[in-house]
A and B are shown apart, each in its own frame.
Chain A
Amino acid sequence: MNPTEVSASKEIPPQGPPPKPFHLPATTDFSLPNGMRVTIVPYGTVPKVAVRACVGAGAIHESAAQVWLSRLTAALMKEGTRTRPAEQVAREAAEMGGQLEIDAGTDFTSVGGVALSDFGPKFVALLADVLTAPSLPPAELPRLKADLLRELSIEKSQPEAQAHECFVETLFPDHPYGRAFPSESALNSYTIEDARTFYRSNFDAARTHLYIAGKLEGDLRRAVEDAFGGWAKGAPAPDLPACPVKARSFHLIDRPGAAQSNLLIGLPVAEPSSPDFIKLDVMNSLLGGSFASRITSNIREEKGYTYSPISQIATHRQLAYWLQSADVATDVTGPSLHEIFYEIDRLRHEPPSAEELEGIRNFLAGLFILRNTISPDAIIGQLHFVDSQGLDRSYLSTYTRKVMEVQPADVQRMAETYLDPSQMTIVVVGDQAQIADQIAPYEAVTQ
């Protein structure tokens, strides 16, 4: 069938009725006397409940000589409490249909899991024991360090991780956000006292927000008060502001024989509390942040240079950066960079059509419903983003209206103001011998 022949008689897609009203799940919020914040969200009919404590303790609280100490501490926290050996913690969680996961991130350590609703209050108590009274046993230290050394070695062999390490190092020199990996010798040097001190200095009620979402059974508020009421208050997390670098630089990491080049291109943009942030979100979705976006349409669907290009606005506490990533075939490394910058320039110089923008606004409005309904953990993720950024919860209730208010000129202005190619960090992981000529024009602009 020749598509041009049928175009004259194409059917118009049915639009369906007007949308049903969407109401965000209602929350109950309170604080314990020790300062721990608690949010409870009844949601859904599936008998499961997600319980997650977000503690303001993470890589950001490590010194330059302590990279991954937060990860080691998290691993040790899984090794039992003062009253429950690790095996008992694991077995009790399993008997509730859950598992306690402890993940140390850059700004927060998350401690939690998803259990059968019947066991909600008991699961809260188990979580509290693990979070507030871990034994951090020295006997497990050598094994956990060996595990982290292995993870380090494997992560560093991945081209995406190599690119990421270089990118954050460039954006955040002299800040914990810029330190993706420790040296093996540093990791080897950490003692049980290091981990215990890290735990003592960073894990307390004042730094913790507990979220509970899902089908709720039993008196969860009472369970929270009983389990966490006695926890030390401590002090709120210290403010450790980062000042990301906004300057053009080009970095090539040689990976001989690589079939693809991994590209990262980005720079700092306005933080989540800025009035520009939602406009940036819209601009990003149109430029490279969705399947039908311009960069993806160009380098994937028109040119076939890559499989999964994506741009995003990554956030830390009170800062954000825009980042385009793409893993492209080696022989089109230069052309891919060219097309990405072409699309950035085009948006900086010309507003999108009202029709193109409307599609993106509708996309974000629909996505917002999914993000706030798709699972209890997704609901927690949305609330934690707002709370951890110090935003008012009205950020969520006004989000869709603000998205729908964004105009074509706003999108152009966002690109013009924030996506200046002469201030971008570019990282390429690829086969230098094959791509040297292709990337030369981009290296040349390095300052």
Chain B
Amino acid sequence: MPITYYKLPNGLRVILSPDSTAPTVVTAVYYRIGFRVEPRDRTGFAHLFEHMMFQGSRNLGKMEFIRLVQENGGVLNGSTRFDFTNYFELLPSNKLETALWAEADRMKGLAITEENLKNQQDVVINEVQVSVLNQPYGGFPWLWMPQHANSNWYNSHNFYGELKDIEAATLDEVQAFFKTYYAPNNAALAIVGDFEPEEAQAMIAKYFTGIAPAELPPPPDLAEPRQEEEKTATRQDPLANRPALAFSYHMPPRNSPEYFAMGLLDQMLVQGDDSLLYRELVKKHGFSGEVSGAINELGNMFDYDGPMLWTASLFHDSTVQPEQILSAVDTVVESLQSQPVEQSLVDRSITKMRSNLYDTLTQFGGFGRANLMACYALFDDDPSRIDSLEAEFRKVTPQLVERTAREYLRKNNRTVLRIVPGAAELAADPAVATEESN
């Protein structure tokens, strides 16, 4: 599919990808500010801020943005991730201009009150309650694992937010955060669907050209040191009644040959009933009914830009010890490290990956394509990378898989997280963290 990529004079990156399959259009604005980079005494701030972007701008008061999209026959959402915050609308294609006008309006500035902020602090606290604190296994493993596996604060803090931090946020802080990060030169606008690129370019020029760029702060150092010792963390979950186990390995650097090999290792190890860990842990040992796994549990292996984990997890019975499960995992991993895998296994992984890529790109009416193009524009200044992904996976050889398994599936590159069901007891072991301390 064709991609048009250019920048406005104010630095806004624009990516256009027409596709007339359905009379719908996705408009997605990505800001290069994720939850890694938020004020240290304000955990959860990037996400709270995302909520404030729906509370009012110059021409759209509270609820008016949401109502505008809805009454034009569309749906909308926003999400805060490791390295970006996005806002998107999926609308009938004749409403592209409406969406562009509205997104430009809130890129120009927020018109919000103390009351709006208090309201969204309550909503976000309810969100954290319903997703994590009031839920068995609430942060397992997506929220908790990065806190144990990483050592750099940017990667290891509670990014959903301590409730006291969410409560403490002020309106001035919200406006300052906007001023710092929500500028056109820190953003990408992606449009996918049924539209004429020339018409879209004219509309984009009309609504976005006048928005002033900002001086961006230097990016912080997100690097994680090489892990040299296996880590184990245990969390007591008073709401859970079966144990659970997750294990993570730090990923190779993005876009390196080893990174693409890890993409295939993910397919080999946990994706599908034909995968090695499914066969070993589910079918052979009966430890669990399924093994889940992912590179980036809050997205996919393409939409982040910093240190990342490959994580697998399962629920099991109290009669099974985590050591038994890990020993079975080791058997599988060691088989990958001791010799090159068969070419047929690599081929099958590439087929699964290719099929998966189509799903990723077509997810939610073309939103998936907008997501990847916006990320590659922001992180690599090259959205056409999405067209070369398949070729990168095809370069992976059995030898590279073996080398990657040796370096990245090292036991001392691993963090193990155990969930122990039942009420928390005061533990002397510093490795024991309870939900309350989270």
Contacts and interface: CB of A to CB of B under 8 A. Distances in A.
A328 B124 CA distance: 12
Interface string A280-324: 000000000011100001001111111110000000000000000
B339 interface: no
A322 B125 CA distance: 28
Interface string A335-370: 000000000000000000000001110111111011
A94 B113 contact: no
A14 B101 contact: yes
A275 B354 CA distance: 45
Given A3-B56, A48-B358, A87-B274, A157 B119 contact: no
A6 interface: yes
Interface in A397-415: none
A259 B111 contact: no
Instruction: Classify the secondary structure of A's interface with B.
Output: mixed
B22 interface: yes
B302 to A, nearest CB: 17
A167 B361 CA distance: 39
A181 to B, nearest CB: 14
B123 interface: yes
Contacts of B58: 1, 6, 10
Interface stretch (B70-78, B208-216, B252-260, B387-395): B70-78
Interface stretch (A147-155, A169-177, A417-425): A147-155
A13 interface: yes
B384 interface: no
Contacts of A47: 358
A102 to B, nearest CB: 11
A291 B72 CA distance: 13
Given A260-B130, A305-B122, A362-B73, A157 B136 contact: yes
B365 A370 contact: yes
A273 interface: no
B167 interface: no
Interface in A119-178: 143-144, 146-148, 150-151, 153-154, 157-159
Contacts of B19: 45
B63 A301 contact: yes
Interface in B6-41: 19, 21-24
A3 B171 CA distance: 14
Nearest to A44: B21
A22 B91 CA distance: 13
Contact of B66 (A18, A98, A291, A360): A291
Given A16-B95, A154-B241, A362-B73, A369 B134 contact: no
Given A291-B70, A359-B70, A373 B134 contact: no
A86 interface: yes
B67 A359 contact: yes
Interface string B178-197: 00000000000000001000
Given A47-B358, A116-B354, A373-B22, A306 B289 contact: no
B23 A304 contact: no
A259 B133 contact: yes
A329 B122 contact: yes
12 contacts: A11-B105, A13-B60, A89-B273, A97-B355, A258-B134, A260-B130, A292-B70, A328-B126, A329-B122, A363-B71, A366-B74, A369-B73
A303 B116 CA distance: 10
Contacts of B240: 154, 157
A306 B73 contact: no
A374 interface: yes
Contact of A115 (B90, B96, B355): B355
A93 B317 CA distance: 30
A373 B365 contact: yes
B352 to A, nearest CB: 6
A11 B66 contact: no
Nearest to B285: A143
Interface string B335-352: 000000000000010011
B406 interface: no
B204 interface: no
A7 B62 CA distance: 12
A201 B176 CA distance: 66
A258 B274 CA distance: 40
Contacts of A43: 21
A304 B129 CA distance: 13
B299 interface: no
B286 A146 contact: yes
B364 interface: yes
Interface in A28-80: 43-48, 75, 78
A411 B45 CA distance: 41
Given A14-B101, A44-B21, A46-B358, A147 B288 contact: yes
B93 interface: yes
A15 B288 contact: no
Contacts of B62: 301
Given A20-B23, A146-B286, A157-B239, A359 B92 contact: no
Given A86-B283, A87-B274, A302-B119, A366 B126 contact: no
A1 B239 contact: no
A14 B59 CA distance: 12
B273 A366 contact: no
A362 B365 contact: no
B272 A153 contact: no
A144 B129 CA distance: 33
Contacts of B93: 19-20
A300 B134 contact: no
A95 B347 CA distance: 8
A95 B242 CA distance: 35
A373 B136 contact: no
